[in-house]
Amino acid sequence: MRFMKFQHSLSAVALSVALLAGCQPQGDIQADKSPRPVKVITLEEAQNHQSLSFPAKLVPKQHAELSFRVPGTLANIEVEEGQLVTKGQPLMNLDPHDFEVQIAEYQARLIEAKAQARQARQERARVEQANQGNAIAKVELDRANTAVERAEASVTVVRQRLQMMQDALRYSALKAPFDAVVASVYIDTFEQVVPAISVMTLHGQDGYQVEFSLPNQLASQVTLGANAQLTIAGEPAPLSLTITEVARSASTLSRSFTVTGQLSQQPSNPWPEQSGNLTLKLPTQSQRGFLVPSSALQGDEKHAWVNVVADQVNHQVRVSVLGYEGQWIRVAGQLKTGDQVITAGAAYMKPGQPIGQIIADNLRPQL
């Protein structure tokens, strides 16, 4: 019995010793002092241009607003909108009746004028014959010569009037000046035509170009030969173009200037007046310093700095703030192009602290 009690007591002591051993403080845990990974951006030279976007549209390289040169009543329209036409094909015709009547009138006047001229020449011949015999005064010969000149001048005038009437009849037929598609028709049959007022628009078939408008302060910065890109529906990638024309006369309504660009490649399925978004780089004034994200700038009450990685070690570089551009800050200091500035975790970095993995940050300022 005593042996049993002793055995139980020994077990209790062993258990107590084990429990006490478990409660003893362990050795100090070493903090992880491995170099910290960081995200960085690489400083780039100050931008000397800005990318701007403008609405733009496709327009045919060749187009024409057609009008009649003579007045009259529209007799017929021989084409429809959307129809393909060839050079010289008749498009519209005026009623030829009035022109034909005038032609007949001037043909008769020409016959009359020629008869009067022939009579004047015959009269002059008789006067010349009489003058040789000194039967009449010299003044009569002068009058005969003048009559011939006037009669011949009348023939010339009537002949020119007849030519004008014949031209007017020819102008009463409107024909296509080049191979094209009929874009619009602005008049109906039997309506009165006014000269120089557009009655039809034709679009050529030799491709499209791009037009867009700019205000004066931007149009003055565009140079011929500059490159741009056009994004339109139905195209998998932006279309490249080159600026070829900058208008010098502003629009009456918008007071903007039209800029024209030639596409390096035609769209796969273009449509007249199809709109898109054009991106163009324009020069800006040269600016000091570098743009860094707001997360990269650190400071206290007296100084501001950024953390720059060099030789896998962090260096604090004092900077001065020049301005703010959205989420970006323009700073100047002992910085140079190519410096790697810490953007993530910069607040916890100390001077001289070793740097682990360097991860490139994809942040870029949107200029």
Mean pLDDT of 254-267: 94
Q: What 3-state DSSP class applies to 160?
A: helix
Pairing mode of beta strands 257-263, 355-360: unpaired
Task: Give the lowest-confidence range in 180-184, 252-256, 259-263.
Answer: 252-256
CATH code of the region 97-171? 1.10.287
Determine phi and psi for 20, rounding to 5 degrees: -65, -35
- Assign 1 a pLDDT band (cuts: 50, 70, 90): very low
- What's residue 356's pLDDT? 83
- What's residue 323's pLDDT? 82
Mean pLDDT of 75-79: 96
* pLDDT one-digit tens code per residue, 224-234: 999 999 999 98
- What's residue 173's pLDDT? 97
Looking at the chain, the whole-number percentage of residues with pLDDT higher than 70 is: 88
Euclidean distance between CA atoms 46 and 290, whole angstroms? 6
The residue among 223, 227, 219, 224 whose CA lies nearest residue 257 is 219
Q: First CA to last CA across the chain, in angstroms?
A: 95
Domain 51-61+207-283 maps to which CATH number in 1.20.5.510, 3.90.1010.10, 2.40.30.170, 3.30.70.360?
2.40.30.170
CATH code of the region 37-46+288-360? 2.40.420.20
- What's residue 174's pLDDT? 97
Q: Which two tokens stand for residue 74?
A: 């529209």
Q: Helices then strands (H, E): number in the chain? A: 4, 22
Q: Other CB atoms closer than 10 Å to residue 264's CB: what's the count?
A: 10
User: Which residues of the chain are in CATH 2.40.30.170 domains?
Assistant: 51-61+207-283
pTM (2 d.p.)? 0.59
Identity of the residue numbered 292: V
* pLDDT one-digit tens code per residue, 330-362: 888 888 888 999 988 788 888 988 988 888 887
- Assign 110 a pLDDT band (cuts: 50, 70, 90): very high
Mean pLDDT of 85-91: 96
- What's residue 285's pLDDT? 58
Which DSSP string corresponds to 187-240? --TTPEE-TTS--EEEEESS-EEEEEEE-HHHHTT--TT-EEEEE-TT-SSPEE
Q: Is the pLDDT of residue 186 over 60?
A: yes
Q: Is the pLDDT of residue 52 over 70?
A: yes
Q: Other CB atoms closer than 10 Å to residue 52's CB: what's the count?
A: 15
Q: Is the pLDDT of residue 10 over 50?
A: no
Residues in the chain: 367
Euclidean distance between CA atoms 171 and 159, whole angstroms? 18
- What's residue 8's pLDDT? 46
- What's residue 277's pLDDT? 95
Euclidean distance between CA atoms 128 and 116, whole angstroms? 18
Higher-confidence position of 57 and 365? 57
Looking at the chain, the whole-number percentage of residues with pLDDT higher than 90 is: 53
User: Which residues of the chain are in CATH 2.40.420.20 domains?
Assistant: 37-46+288-360
User: Which residues of the chain are in CATH 1.10.287 domains?
Assistant: 97-171
Q: Is the pLDDT of residue 287 over 70?
A: no
- Assign 183 a pLDDT band (cuts: 50, 70, 90): very high
Q: Is the pLDDT of residue 195 over 90?
A: yes
Q: Is the pLDDT of residue 115 over 60?
A: yes
DSSP annotation of 348: G
Q: Which two tokens stand for residue 239?
A: 């279309």
DSSP annotation of 35: P
The residue among 290, 284, 301 whose CA lies nearest residue 329 is 290
Helices 97-132 and 138-171: crossing angle in degrees, nearest 10, is 160
